[in-house]
Amino acid sequence: MTGVSYTEPLAAWRLTFYAPLASFRDPFFFFPGLTRGLPVPPPSTVRGLLAAATGAPYESLAFAMVAWSEGEGVDAETYRPIDAGGANPAASGRVRAGKGGMTLRSRPFLAEVHLTVWLPGAEGARIARAFRRPVWGLRLGRSQDLVHLQERVEVTLVPAAEAVVWSALAPTTGHDVPHAMVHRIAASVSTDRLTSRWADYLWCDSPAAVSGPGRLRGHQLPAGGAGPVATGPVTDAPRRGSLSDLRAKSTPAHDRERLTTHSRTVHAAVGPIQDRVGNAGILADAPAFWSRIRRAALLRDAGKIAEGFQRQVDIGGLPWGECHEVLSLAYVDLLAETAGWAEEDRLMVGTLVATHHRALLSGDGGGHGSKPALSRQYNKETDWNEAFGTASDVRTGETVVQVPRFLHREWLAWLCGYLAADPPTTSPGDPPLAHRARDMLDELLNVWRQPVKPHQGLLAVLAQGALTLA
Domains with residue ranges and CATH for the chain: 10-237 (3.30.70.2660), 245-469 (1.10.3210.30)
Give the sheet arrangement for strand 170-171, strand by strand: 170-171, 196-203, 181-189
What does the pLDDT read at residue 4?
Answer: 46
What does the pLDDT read at residue 440?
Answer: 96
Closest CA to 408 of 310, 267, 306: 306
* Cα end-to-end span (Å), the chain: 41
What does the pLDDT read at residue 367?
Answer: 43
Omega within 30 of 0 (cis) for the link into 252: yes
Q: Summarize pLDDT for 348-392 with one digit per residue, the tens.
A: 999 999 998 889 987 644 444 457 899 999 998 999 999 999 877
Residue 291 — pLDDT band, cuts 50, 70, 90? very high
Report the run of H or E that residue 443 belongs to, with start and end.
Answer: helix 433-449
Closest CA to 306 of 236, 357, 356, 248: 248
Residue 54 — pLDDT band, cuts 50, 70, 90? very high
Average pLDDT over residues 142-150: 85
What does the pLDDT read at residue 216?
Answer: 43
Residue percentage of the chain with pLDDT more than 70: 80
Neighbours of 95 (CB within 10 A): 18
Give the whole-angstrom CA distance, residue 67 versus residue 183.
Answer: 14
Average pLDDT over residues 221-233: 29
Average pLDDT, the chain: 81
Average pLDDT over residues 105-120: 88
Average pLDDT over residues 257-272: 91
Omega within 30 of 0 (cis) for the link into 159: no
In sequence order, what are the residues at sequence separation of 6 or more whose Cβ sits closer than 8 angstroms to the Cβ of residue 273? 466, 469, 470
Q: Is the pLDDT of residue 77 over 80?
A: no
Q: Is the pLDDT of residue 447 over 80?
A: yes
In sequence order, what are the residues at sequence separation of 6 or more whose Cβ sits closer than 8 angstroms to the Cβ of residue 367? 358, 359, 373, 374, 376
C-alpha angle 221-25-104 in degrees, rounded to nearest 5: 145
What does the pLDDT read at residue 209?
Answer: 57
Q: Is the pLDDT of residue 232 over 50?
A: no
Residue 266: what residue type? V
Is the pLDDT higher at 213 or at 197? Answer: 197
Residue 1 — pLDDT band, cuts 50, 70, 90? very low
Is the pLDDT higher at 405 or at 1? Answer: 405
Q: Is the pLDDT of residue 238 over 50?
A: no
Q: What's the alpha-carbon Rg for the chain, to the nearest Å?
A: 25
Average pLDDT over residues 181-188: 85
Q: Is the pLDDT of residue 233 over 70?
A: no
Q: Summarize pLDDT for 2-48 with one digit per residue, the tens.
A: 444 456 788 899 999 999 999 988 877 656 666 788 899 999 999 99
**Exposed e or buried b for every residue in 232-259, given b needs 16+ CB within 10 A?**
beeeeeeebbbbbbbbbeeeeeeebebb
Give the whole-angstrom CA distance, residue 257 versus residue 90.
Answer: 47
Residue 5 main-chain phi, psi, to 5 deg: -95, 145
Largest Cα–Cα distance of the chain, in whole Å? 85
Q: Is the pLDDT of residue 221 over 60?
A: no
Q: Is the pLDDT of residue 435 over 90?
A: yes
What does the pLDDT read at residue 369?
Answer: 46
Give the whole-angstrom CA distance, residue 452 versus residue 269.
Answer: 29
Report the run of H or E that residue 162 belongs to, with start and end.
Answer: strand 162-165
What does the pLDDT read at residue 394?
Answer: 61
Using an 8 Å Cβ cutoff, are 209 and 163 in contact?
yes
What does the DSSP 8-state code read for residue 25?
B
Q: Summarize pLDDT for 82-99 with one digit per residue, the tens.
A: 655 656 665 655 555 555
Average pLDDT over residues 201-211: 70
Average pLDDT over residues 397-417: 86
What does the pLDDT read at residue 72?
Answer: 83
Residue percentage of the chain with pLDDT more than 90: 32
Using an 8 Å Cβ cutoff, are 278 and 292 in contact?
no
Closest CA to 431 of 311, 364, 333: 333
Average pLDDT over residues 439-465: 90
Is the pLDDT higher at 240 or at 157? Answer: 157
Mean pLDDT is highest, among 187-196, 246-255, 333-342, for 333-342
CA distances to 24, 82, 119, 350, 396 from 321, in Å: 46, 66, 40, 21, 16
Q: Enumerate the β-bridge partners of residue 249.
A: none
Q: Is the pLDDT of residue 55 over 60?
A: yes
Q: Summarize pLDDT for 122-133 with one digit per residue, the tens.
A: 889 999 999 999
Closest CA to 437 of 287, 275, 339, 323: 323
